[in-house]
Structure 1
Amino acid sequence: MDSDFPEPHIRLPQGPHTHTAILLHGRGSNGPEFADELFSSSTSTGKSLPSHLPTFRWVFPTSKDRWNARFEEDICAWFDAYSLTDITEHQQSQIPGLQESVSYILNILEDEINLLDGKTTHIYLGGISQGMATALWTFFCASTKVEGRLGGVIGFCGWMPFAERFGDDLGNEDLDLDGGRRVVEFCSGIVRGEVEGDIDMRVLGTPVLLGHGVDDPMVPVELGRQVLGIVKRAGVQVEWVEYVGAEGDGHWIKEPEGFDAILKFLASGSGDA
C-alpha cells in the first residue's frame, strides 16, 4: 500500500467475504467520516447497506492533504479542483493529484481483486463528489489492472475532469468516442504516460449507476448530466437517478430513494437480496 496515503478505513463482512465495494469520499472529508455518513443512512426498509449486504467488504480510502490553490490551504482532496463553476479553469492543476490518486486506487483495486481470487465482477468502485470524479477516472484507467469487467461503478453528485475533451450534453454531444477508447486512452495517458500496446476494453462492459440532486448547490446537476452523456457515448451501460431534497442542502444521496437504487444495483450483481 502507498505509505503516502493514510490507511483505508475497512468494514469487514459479517459472513464469508464474497464482494468488495471501494468507495471514495468527497473533498474535505475522509474515509471514516464518509463511511459513518453512508452507513447511518437507510433504504426504504429502514436498514443500512451493510445490513442488506452482509458478505460485502467495504473499503473507504482516504486521500492525501494537498494544497488547494483556490482556498490557499491544505485540504484532504484527491486532486486540486479550482472551480466547479467552470471546470476548465486552471484544470492543469488537477493532473498531479489525478496521477497520484488514480494510481493509488488502482493498487487498492488490484489488492481487492486478489483477495477475491481474481473475481473482478465481485468488485464495485464508486464515490461521491470529487470521489466520484476520481472513481470514474480510475474506472477508465482500470484496463491496466482488470482483465474483464468490474461488478459496477457508482457515482453521486460528481463530475468528470477534462470532460470537454469528450464533448458534452450542452455542446458537441455527437463526438465519436470510438466505443470508449478515446476516453480510456486520454485518462490512461494522463495517469500513466504514453499508453503502449493493446488496451483491454472489456472493462467498459461494467454497468454504471449515476445520481445527482437537481438542487445540489456545490456541484451543479448539469455537470452530472454531462458525465451521463460521456459514459453513454463511451458505450457503457448506465442508469441515471435525479432527485431533490437530499440532506446537506442537496449535495448528498437522497434517503431512502438513492440508497434503494444503490442496494438494487449492488444486489443485482451480487445475487444478494
Structure 2
Amino acid sequence: MPLAIIQPTAAHTATVIFAHGLGDEGESWRAVISGDYDYRKPGELTIPAHLPHVKWIFPDAPEQAVTANFGTRMSSWFDISNLPLQPGQYLKKEFEDDESVKNGVQIIDDLVQAEVKDGIPESRIIVGGFSQGGALALVAGLGGKDWRTKSFGDENKLAGVVVLSGWMPLRERFKSRISPHAKSMPVLWGHGTADAVIYYKVGEVSVELLQDQLGIVKHTADDQLGAPGINFRSYERMGHASCKKEMEDLVTFLGSVIPQQQTPNL
C-alpha cells in the first residue's frame, strides 16, 4: 500500500496513523503536518518538531466506486451513497456501506499491528483522519472485535482518536460493535462551523449520539485536551478544511496522550 511517512527525529516511541478524505491521498496530509504550507511565523516550530518522537503514517485509500459520485472510481476508504452530509438526512438513514467500512478498518488495523510488531505498543498509537478518514478513524479507534478483527480490539486499547471534520458512520450499528475501552478513549473532534460538506451540525449530532447512546463523556471547550471522552472543538468560519488553531489543538492533544518518553540510561 502506498504510504507517505514523516519519520521521527528523536527516539521513536509513538505513532500517528492518519487517514485522508475522499478522493485525496496521504501525501496531502503529510504536507499539511510537515509544514509545507507556510502558515508559521519565523522561528515557529513545525508539528513534527513539537513531537520529535512521533512517526506519522499517511496511507492512501484504495480506489473504488463511490455511489455518491455516480459510481466514479476514486480513492475512498468505504462507499458512501450521499454527499454532502446534512443533519436532516443523517438522522433518517445510513449512507455508508457496512462491508466496505470493515475493509477500511482492516487497512488501519494492519498498520497498527505493523507498528506493534516493530515495538510500539498499541497504547502509544493514535488513529486519526479528516472527513471520511475521520469517520474511519472513529470506527477503528472505538470499534471492538467485530471491526478490528486482526488485533482483537476488545483486548487492546489505542492511545486516542482524532476526528477532523468527520462524523459517526453506521450510527444504528455503532453501539453494538464498540470496544469495552470506548468510554475511556481520549478523542479530539474538530469541526468548522462553516463546513458545507460534512455539516457542522452532523458533527455535533454525532457527538451527542455517542454521549447519549454510548455514555461517552463530552467535554467542554474549556476542559483539558487528552482526558478520556470526546473534546469537541469548534472553529468559527472554518469550512471543510483545517486551520492553524486546529493544528495547535492537535499538537496539545498528542502531547497529552502520547508525550515524549525519556530514554532510560543504560
Q: Structure 1-normalised TM-score?
A: 0.77
The reply to whether residue 267 of structure 1 matches residue 255 of structure 2 is: yes
- Secondary structure (helix, strand or coil) at the match of 1:239 reads strand
Shift of 1:92: 6.3
| 1:58-78 deviation digits (Å, cap 9, x = unpaired) | 011111111122322111111
Which deviates more from structure 2 when the two are superposed, residues 78-87 or residues 206-215? Answer: 78-87
Change in CA separation of 1:77 and 1:258 when aligned onto 2, cut-off 3 Å = same
Give 1:46 deviation, angstroms.
3.1
Matched, 1:235 2:215: yes
2: CA distance, partners of 1:235 / 1:153: 17
Query: Is 1:252–2:241 an aligned residue pair?
Result: yes
Partner of 2:188: 209
> Could you tell me which residue of structure 2 aligns to residue 157 of structure 1?
165
1:20-59 counterparts in 2 under 5 A?
20-40=15-35, 46-59=44-57
Q: Is the alpha carbon distance of 1:214 and 1:92 closer, same or farther for their aligned partners in structure 2, counting shifts above 3 Å?
A: closer
Which residue in 1 is equivalent to 2:67? 69
> Which SS does the other structure have where 1:261 is aligned?
helix
Pick from 89, 111, 114 the counterpart of residue 114 of structure 2. Answer: 111
User: Structure 1 268/149 Cα, relative in aligned 2: closer, same or farther at 3 Å?
Assistant: same
Judge conservation of contact 2:80–2:95 (CA < 8 Å) in 1.
no
Query: Structure 2: any 5+ residue segments left out of the alignment?
Result: 217-228, 262-266
Give the residue type in structure 2 aligned to 1:264. T
Could you tell me which residue of structure 2 aligns to residue 100 of structure 1?
A: 103
* 1:15 equivalent in structure 2: 10
Task: Identify unmatched segments of 5+ residues in structure 1.
Answer: 1-5, 167-181, 188-199
Contact 1:244 1:254 in 2 (8 A): no
Cα separation, 2, equivalents of 1:100 and 1:202: 22
Match of 2:77 in 1: 78
Q: Is the 8 A contact 2:13 2:260 kept in 1?
A: no
> Which AA in structure 2 matches 1:135?
A
How many pairs align?
A: 234
Partner of 1:3: none
C-alpha deviation, 1:88, in angstroms: 6.8
Q: Distance in 2 between matches of 1:238 and 1:90?
A: 24
Once the two structures are superposed, residues 208-258 of structure 1 have per-residue CA deviations (whole angstroms, 9 ceiling, x without a partner) of 110100111111001111221133342331111001233xxx111221x11
Give yes or no for contact 2:116–2:122 (8 Å, CA) kept in 1. yes
- Residue type of the alignment partner of 1:159: W
Q: Which moved more, 1:203-212 or 1:257-266?
A: 203-212
The percentage of counterpart residues that share the same residue type is 24
SS in 2 for 1:209: strand
Q: TM-score if structure 2 supplies the norm length?
A: 0.79
- Write the distance in 1 (CA, Å) between the matches of 2:166 and 2:40: 21
Q: How much does 1:91 deviate?
A: 4.1
1:196 corresponds to: none
Distance in 2, Cα, partners of 1:49 & 1:155: 17
> In 2, Cα distance between the equivalents of 1:102 and 1:76?
15
Rounded to whole Å, the distance in 1 between the matches of 2:186 and 2:123 is 10
Change (3 A) 1:151 1:93: closer
Compared CA separation, residues 43 and 244, structure 1 to 2 (3 A): farther
CA distance in 2 between partners of 1:11 and 1:109 (Å): 16
Q: Could you say if the C-alpha distance between residues 219 and 228 of structure 1 is closer, same or farther in structure 2, counting changes exceeding 3 Å?
A: same
How is 1:85-234 mapped onto 2 (pairs within 5 angstroms)?
Answer: 85=86, 86-87=89-90, 91=94, 94-117=97-120, 119-143=121-145, 144=148, 145=151, 146=153, 147-163=155-171, 165=172, 183=175, 185-186=176-177, 201-202=180-181, 204-233=183-212, 234=214
How far 1:48 sits from its partner (Å)? 1.9
Distance in 1, matches of 2:109 and 2:183, equals 15
